[in-house]
Each structure stands twice: as C-alpha cells, then as structure tokens.
Structure 1
C-alpha cells in the first residue's frame, strides 16, 4: 500500500536504487523498448524536462544508463535512436521530474517484486516437500517466497493464500521457528535465527492489508428470508464492502456491514461473523478465488489474522548443525536487504570443506592463541 507520492525521501532513495540496479544489470529488462523508455525518463529527470533531446549529451550519458552488455550488443547509434523515440512520446505529456520518479518507483515495485524483498536464511523443518530444506526466505509486498542458492523459486505464497502465522521458541534464539498455514490446508514450519523478524514482518503485511481491504469471503450460506435489507450469499462467495474497510471487521466495530455480493451484484447488509477478511487491496484473480471456494472449511478455523505467539518447548533431532549453534563459533548472522544475484554464500564451519582450518571451531578455545 506504499504510495510514492506520500514519502518523497523514500521515493528518492528507491529511484536511486532502481537506476543503479539497471545500470549494473541487477534489474533486467526483457525488451529493449522498456530499457530505452527508462533511460529516456532518466535523461528527462536529469535535464529538468528539456523540451528536446541533445544526442551528443545523451551519447556521453549512455554508460550511466545502460548495462555494459546491452550497450555493446546494440551499439551507441541503436540506443540513441530508441531513446529518442521514447523521449518524444515522454516529453509530449510534459510530466514533472518528481512525478516521473514516482511512476518509476511504482513501476519497479510491480516489475521486480522479488528484488524488493528482505531475505533470510532458513531451514524447512516440516511441511509439504520442497526440492531442498536449506533455503532462503524472501518477504516483499506480494507475499513470501522460498528460493534456493541458484535463485530458483521453490515456493510462492501470496498474502491472500496465508491464513495464519505463529512463532515458537525452544528457549534459545537460534532455536526459534515460525509456522505458516495456507488456504489449501498446508502447514509449513521453518527454523531461522531471524524467525521473530520474519513472523513480525508477515503479520505487519497481513494486518495492514486486511485493515485496508474491501474484500471478504463468506464462510457459510446466508439466506435473507425475504428481508431486502440483507443480501443472500453462498459459502465461498466474494463480498465487497461498500462504505467500510476490513478494519471495521477486525476491530468488531459493527456486527453488520453494507456490501455487494460479486456473484449476484446484489447489495445489502451482511453479518461480519460469517466472513473472512482477505488481505488484498484488489479483486483476486478467479483461480485464487476458486481456491477459497474449494477450501472454505480451512478458513473457518483461521478467521483471526494470526495465531497468538506462544512459547513452547520444541524438541529437535540432535545434529552437528544444532550442536554448532551452542558450541561452535558462529559466522555473522545474515539479515540482508539486497538482491539475490548479489547474495554471497558464506561458509558454515560445521559442514565438510576443503578449506584449511585457521582457527578453533569450539567457542571455548577461541582465546587460546597457540591453537591458531
């Protein structure tokens, strides 16, 4: 729900991140026209909205706008021609530089959502099978992604698909885990040194989206029995709030709200205790809606935005990895704001490696210099 118009400082920072990322190939464009348009917008912003494009000046600036491989592949003349065409269309509308930055920020968020993520190292402890268990979790404005070190997406859960989030502690920070429940009834548990951060971030998005949402799904049939003040609907129907948002339901402000049944187009009151607030600002695609219709039984037990955080004693298998948590020196904890293609895999000392051993592994031996 971020609006670039409301935070000029964030917009400026994200814009600088975007243009730098494009220049160094982190944000990749599939088509040359797309890259040429972004370059034209950069030129427009930097020249203060010049009415015409100076090709000599543009030639000097191309290395600041385009990745080296694209510049070599097309040549300077090719890119100047493409950028000039894009600039003519752009300058005709005479937008302000600030408005262009705002548009670019909004565009980039939708164009490269995974690269606008916060990344965490984690381990899948339980749940449906994935190709591997040592994974990276990425959280962004669209949902949660599970990826591997090759940047392949192993699991994608959009926020409407997540029905519950909970946090468990085993008494040690590194023993924390968090669990997810989905509308399909799947339950995943992940362990991570950053479980608390992931849990809080997911709840921040879920609760924020629900409080702003105008869409709910019915959990049971309702017959108005001839009372035109109410609408009739079936279990799994999508309802849209007319005058309120999901916050009125979450705070139990009203027992009845006015809405529209999308299936029938009828409007009227409905009872708030028979619906589940969808964490979305837009109408969901039909395939996602069908998922809710098929699995409404799973929704009834997840009507609240999340399960409460509980402290429970979790018993794990004894492994060398878990022994290392308590007894071996640890590498720096990685909680990163950076793109996946810049992520470096750090060594884990408990794993087999051909690297030479320069320092003791055990923490209690770290101060004994004669062993180093």
Structure 2
C-alpha cells in the first residue's frame, strides 16, 4: 500500500469523467514530482478533505522551508533555498509581512519575508530524508521556478498581513454559526471574563472549544425536537470523553464504545450528521491542548468515512 506523509504532498487535482460509466478521479502529486491517481465516486469530497487537513496543519505548523534566497540589508535573517526555519510564536503577530524564526543551518534568529518560504503541513519536524528532497528540488533557478508553481497550484495557503497562514476564501465554523446555530445564552458576569479556549469559552462562542457538556444542541433546526436534542447532547458528552476533555469517576468506556455512541445516532437519524460534524469542528477550534486536538482529528477522520 502507498503511504505518504502530509509534507510530501504538494498538489491535489481532481477531474470529472465525461462518461457515466466511469468514476471521477483525483491525483496526488508529491515533492518528488510523482503522481498518483485514484478513482472514486467521491473524488471531489476526498480531495477537499485532504486539502482541509493540509490547510489545518499549515495553520498550526512552525516549520517552513526556504524557497527563495533572502539577504537582508541590515538587520534580518539571511536564508538560503532549502533552509529549514523554525517559527517563533511572536511571528503570528507580525504586521509587516515578515516572519520570525530560527535558521537550523546557521543557528541564527531573525525576521524574513513570508513570501520566501513554504509552510510544511506538519506538527512535528519532518524526517531528514524529506527535507533533503526539498533542498534538491530548489538546487537551481529553473527547477526552483517550476517547483514554486507546482507547490502553490494545487491548493492555496498563503500568508496574510498578520503573518498568519490561512486558506484563501476560507469558511469557518464561526461564519456558519451565524445563520445555523441557535442563539447563545446571554453573557453573565461570571463568564464575561472567561479565558479564550479555557474550560468555559464564554457561552456566546458556541463555535469554539469548551470542556463543559452541552445543554442544548448547536443547530437551531434541532431545538424543537426533544428526543434528538437529547441524543445530540449525549453525543457531545461522548466526544468530550473521547478527546480526554471530561473527567469522570465512572468506569472509563472503551474507545470503540465511545465512537459507537458518537456516530450510531447520526447513522440512524440523518439530521444529526450535521450536528456531529459541527460538534467535532467546534472542539478543534481554538483547542490549545495537543493530545485533545489529535483525538479530535481522529474523530473527524472517522466522521468523514461514516457519513460519506
């Protein structure tokens, strides 16, 4: 079986079949310029899912590889094609289009233009053999030009003026919540000062991570359906338990028991599928806990397969 890590994927393309007898297909292109084509009725959905994973990893990543030499005039970080830079936290607040990081080759730190680097879609440093491939691909100017076009043509993640890497024309759960979520409860004095991403997210941020169980479903279309509302809240409780965000003295349920409890109701009631999707995405939004977030992505992967 073919196994690729996310940093190796540089382009994803899909094509629609002109024949009713043939399925649509999508193609994955790697940093080695290898192409792998897969045929499926759900080719577009699979392509979009992989792109979403790549974009999510890029937003969280602190590893970039240099695709264009930069020699600062005065202060700044000198970088060379193929260098691996580890981004510092403060780079996210940079409003000048520059990032701040540590150059592993030189051991120096400093600022450099965001347009000179490619963000690696990973939460951990890629193996050296993969990094060496990037270095070889940009060994000469002609290859660099071709490779840069190749990197950014299949999916788009670019730096905005805050130095953050965000998908172009991105659509967030916050935006979706404006028209599809129930009206949040009025803010009380106790949760006015709730910390972002903390145990209580403030109540009015229904689209963001929280550690407290839901008392009502997220989607307003479920509010008048009492039995389904209870099912939705029970599913969220099991999501909290699966991700390790809810501690209980009761015997810990097996992982497969929790996933069954999360997805079975939605497989029986179509209307719950959107609710479960939103609950999982909610728990991945502004989640500052790596272990919890990793478990959340497992649920997203399972949901994509169960609900396809």
TM exceeds 0.5?
no
Q: Give the shorter-chain TM-score range.
A: 0.3 to 0.5
TM-score, normalisation: structure 1: 0.37
Q: Which has the higher contact order (CA 8 A, sep 6+)?
A: 1
